[in-house]
Amino acid sequence: MNMENQVTDSSEERTFQYQRTLPSLPVPALEESLKKYLDSVKPFLNEEEYQRTESIVKAFENGIGKELQQKLLERAKVKRNWLEEWWLKVAYLEARIPTQIFHNFGGPGPYFEHYWPVKEGTQIERASISTWHTLKFWELLRTEKLGVHRSGNVPLDMNQFRMLFCTCKIPGITQDSIVNYFRTESEGECPSHLLVLCRGRIFTFDAVHDGHILSPPEISRQLTYIQKKCYNEPEGPGLAALTSEERARWAQTRDYLINLDPRNLSLLEKIQTSLFSICLDEASPQASPEDYTQVTKLALAGDPTTRWGDKSYNCITFSNGVLGSLCDHAPFDAMVVVVLCSYIDQKVVESEGRWKGSDKVRDFPWPEELVFSLDQKMLNDIAYAKEQYHKQVSDLQLVNYAFTSFGKSLIKKQKLHPDTFVQLALQLAYYKLHGHPASCYETAMTRRFYHGRTETMRPCTVEAVEWCKSMLDPDCTSGQQYQLLLKAVSKHNKLMKECENGKGIDRHLLGLLLVAKDQCLPVPEIFLDPAFSRSGGGGNFVLSTSLVGYTRVGGAVVPMVPHGYGFFYRIRDDRIVVACSTWISCSDTDAEKLWKSLVQSFHEIIQLTATAQL
């Protein structure tokens, strides 16, 4: 897939021009999905359990499943994407857990690898330059000059890019909602103010003056003003910490805040409509191109008073000039921020990390502080939110290391797909560490369809497990191991292609379950059968994985389940960079150990392919 940010000529295509003509998301055939589902549960069941599941699935296929499929097909006739509203609601908006911790994704800015090494005293300068590049990216979207992404020559859905700016999640008692104020130039006005969080205080200023975006020296003037004010005066109340709470609790507190003083609502609206938030963080994480652990952990789970967890994009600048980001997952997938940060990365390299334009600073208004009316109850709620947050994130173990022995170049030379290589190495690493296979989720992208987002690809296949067993079997020859590896590889590639073409199983099964719920029917037995959750269904995947891409931009998430692993990785020509997370309170999992096992697996697969191809 071509994710380069071609900036188009005004005469050429526009960013959102194919949205009207993209194909609708298809509904897979019931029989096909159920057959694939049965195949995917095999690694987790013994013979007897499998036969029981098989009869449950057959009964579903010949019974209620038929009716539900019919209803789903009817829904797909009237909606270009039958899944979209459901997915947003079920995967994100109905979640009542603290989404900032459990759903958001975060990551390190790659800029310290070249022109912006760790250096105290650079925070404001770098924040200003990266903000300026981000505003230029916003301008590209406003003028629809960001090149359309393609898979081969098929245009992909670009809708998620509308959610990067001027977007915010609002907590509700039973369900959250998303507000989005972004407009292209042809659609009309778009808010243009920025949000700045610093030492528990919240500021805002307009990024545009007299029709032109502020230059880095002008942004620097604003950020310096804010920083001086925050360092010379007492810390602020840290209202932003409330966004890290359980959703119903935050919703109640927010209602209370609004009732306390009607002005509080207009201040909240200022936050919600803002372009994105700039977080001036006091921490100084260590960072090197081989070890991103500290910066990634602080981006994902740092100071809750300097992140507005419900904002779609928080750009974090640490006091030593290292950057990071934290994003709400509800409005878009990580790909959007990867594209933005790759764009910034490219621009930082092109300009050697400096601003080479005019130092002239125009006369325009100073930043405005958003001062909320708070009472003692509000202050207590903020203190409680901080305490709960720190309790939860102190349980997070995260490592983010670079494997530098080889990367994409050598893997491709061995005729393997780099992503499949990493996924199978992970299967082997887990198997060696735990002695059994794990249900595994890999993100597949369905953007060739209208408003397509993701599908679940299940990498823990029968073929992968057979191969893992062979690697631990002293009686297996390397020739046999290699043949089993090739079988596992081709199965993985086939499943991934099917998912990308709208023929996955997890979203289809979810659709059938939701039709039953909508019709007030009892939950079909296929979803209550232990095989469903054991194989990962219902958000129970032990390994939650995603390829972040082939760029310098990485990221991380927390595990999906208490005994699970979060596993994000990116692949470069000469290295593989992995962010692995676990919960310390689970004694069975250890991110550091999985990493070590993974490194071993990388070497073993390459040795196996090299030997076999002699």
Query: What's the CA gap between 398 and 584, in Å, rounded?
Result: 10
Q: Is 61 exposed, middle or buried (0-12, 13-18, 19+ CB in 10 A)?
A: middle
Query: What's the CA gap between 28 and 443, in Å, rounded?
Result: 18
What is residue 120's DSSP assignment?
Answer: T
58 residue type, one letter: K
Is there a contact between 247 and 97 (Cβ–Cβ < 8 Å)?
A: yes
Q: Is 391 exposed, middle or buried (0-12, 13-18, 19+ CB in 10 A)?
A: exposed
What DSSP string runs through 337-394?
A: HHHHHHHHHHHHHHTTTS--S-------PPPEE------HHHHHHHHHHHHHHHHHHT
Is there a contact between 294 and 109 (Cβ–Cβ < 8 Å)?
A: no
Is there a contact between 325 and 341 (Cβ–Cβ < 8 Å)?
A: yes
Query: What's the CA gap between 391 and 389, in Å, rounded?
Result: 5
3-state SS assignment for residue 114: coil
Q: Where are the alpha helices (DSSP H) in 190-237?
A: 216-232
User: Of 408, 421, 396, 422, nearest to 568 (Cα)?
Assistant: 422
Query: What's the CA gap between 570 and 411, in Å, rounded?
Result: 14
384 residue type, one letter: Y
564 residue type, one letter: G
User: Of 293, 309, 281, nearest to 103 (Cα)?
Assistant: 309
12 residue type, one letter: E
User: Of 23, 84, 25, nearest to 331 (Cα)?
Assistant: 84
Considering 133, 149, 329, 451, which one is annotated as catalytic? 329
Q: Which residues pair with 105 in a beta bridge?
A: 327
Query: What's the CA gap between 285 and 74, in Å, rounded?
Result: 53
Can you read off the two tokens belonging to residue 396? Answer: 């997070």
Query: What's the first-to-final CA gap in the chain, in angstroms?
Result: 32
188 residue type, one letter: G
Can you read off the two tokens belonging to residue 431? Answer: 């198997």
Number of H helices, E strands in the chain: 20, 19
What is residue 583's DSSP assignment?
Answer: E
Q: Is 365 exposed, middle or buried (0-12, 13-18, 19+ CB in 10 A)?
A: exposed
User: Of 201, 162, 196, nearest to 179 (Cα)?
Assistant: 162
Residue 329 annotated as catalytic: yes
What is residue 146's DSSP assignment?
Answer: B
- What percentage of the chain's residues is helix, strand, coil (to nearest 5)? 45, 15, 40
373 CB neighbour count, 10 Å cutoff: 12
Q: Where are the alpha helices (DSSP H) in 233-375?
A: 247-260, 262-273, 293-301, 335-350
Query: Which secondary-structure segment (H or E) carries 576?
Result: strand 576-583
**What positions carry a catalytic annotation?**
329
